């Protein structure tokens, strides 16, 4: 199996609506500098790509996926950058036929009771499959397990995923409210951890208290010198580590950490 990183930024994307910073303005002027919402693709390690599972259906999914075939979608939670891409599987877009969508109980209830998501069920575009904390799915030489984590401001459960391959274990957690002993333990257990790097520090935006995430500076302090290869994803457009030539990016890389980049592949 391979994991391909399809997107790396927070739900608002780059460019971010209403922002005139250099990163967002450059992305408006040059589409190659646009950055897609955080998601990954699990695929068979062969040229055929006959096994393809998506984790999180982002609003950018029409750019992120190439080819028509998809075996299933795992949804981590109900925020903009993680669930709204399901709408592209409806009749106005792909007009898919019963794509398996793995969701927690609360996410299933939300999709089933709210338009326009409910229409995807009525039209048989998607097939909702309950997938809660502790549940697992075998995927061609790998095993994917759901792990519930704490995340604020969302009306569904939030799931992270431990992906156990033949050679390596990968922990994927794009969104979390704060670190707990359990989630830190999962990072330490994994060979590779692709984790929430939304903000560099708490002073980065003036409403951090409304949208809290563990900041990169704190995460590096907690995990430095661990054997786990740590890759930060879900970066906000304001995060200086998103820019390749900043002091923050330099510090991060010198300390042995990485920033996720679209197209990066991990063989597991």
Instruction: Tell me the two tokens of residue 65.
Output: 């996926």
What ranges do the domains of the chain cover? 2-267
Local confidence band at 66 (pLDDT 50, 70, 90 cut-offs):
confident
Each residue's pLDDT tens digit, 171-221: 999 999 999 999 999 999 999 999 999 999 999 999 998 888 999 999 999
Q: ∠ CA(54), CA(46), CA(99), 5° rounding? A: 30
Question: Burial code of 156-195, b = ≥16 C-beta within 10 A, e = fewer?
Answer: bbbbbbbbbbeebbbbbbbbbbebeeebbebbeebbbbbb
| Predicted pLDDT of residue 185 | 97
Indicate whether 49 pLDDT > 60: no
C-alpha distances (whole Å) from 235 to each of 27, 86, 152, 159 are 15, 22, 17, 18
* pTM (2 d.p.): 0.95
Q: What superfamily would CATH give domain 2-267?
A: Ribonuclease Z/Hydroxyacylglutathione hydrolase-like (3.60.15.10)
The answer to whether residues 64 and 36 touch, using CB atoms and an 8 Å cutoff, is yes
Q: How many residues are given for the chain?
A: 268
The answer to whether residues 72 and 102 touch, using CB atoms and an 8 Å cutoff, is yes
Indicate whether 52 pLDDT > 80: yes
């Amino acid at each position: 199996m391979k994991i391909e990183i399809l997107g790396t930024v927070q739900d608002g994307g780059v460019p971010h609506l209403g922002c005139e910073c250099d990163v967002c303005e450059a992305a408006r002027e040059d589409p190659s500098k646009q950055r897609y919402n955080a998601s990954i693709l699990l695929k068979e390690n062969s040229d055929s790509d006959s096994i393809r599972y998506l984790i999180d259906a982002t609003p950018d999914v029409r750019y992120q996926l190439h080819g028509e075939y998809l075996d299933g979608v795992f949804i981590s939670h109900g925020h903009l950058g993680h669930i709204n891409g399901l709408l592209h599987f409806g009749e106005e877009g792909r007009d898919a036929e019963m794509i398996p969508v793995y969701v927690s109980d609360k996410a299933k209830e939300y999709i089933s009771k709210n338009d326009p998501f409910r229409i995807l069920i009525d039209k048989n575009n998607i097939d909702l499959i309950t997938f809660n904390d502790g549940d697992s799915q075998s995927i061609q030489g790998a095993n994917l397990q759901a792990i519930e984590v704490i995340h604020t401001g969302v009306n569904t459960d939030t799931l992270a995923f431990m992906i156990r391959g033949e050679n390596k274990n990968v922990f994927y957690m794009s969104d979390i409210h704060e670190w707990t002993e359990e989630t830190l333990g999962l990072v330490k257990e994994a060979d590779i951890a692709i984790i929430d790097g939304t903000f560099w520090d708490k002073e980065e935006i003036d409403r951090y208290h409304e949208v809290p995430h563990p900041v990169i500076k704190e995460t590096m302090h907690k995990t430095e010198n661990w054997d786990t290869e740590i890759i930060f994803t879900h970066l906000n457009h304001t995060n200086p580590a998103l820019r390749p030539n900043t002091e923050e990016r330099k510090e991060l890389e010198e300390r042995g950490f990485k920033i996720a980049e679209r197209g990066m592949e991990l063989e597991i």
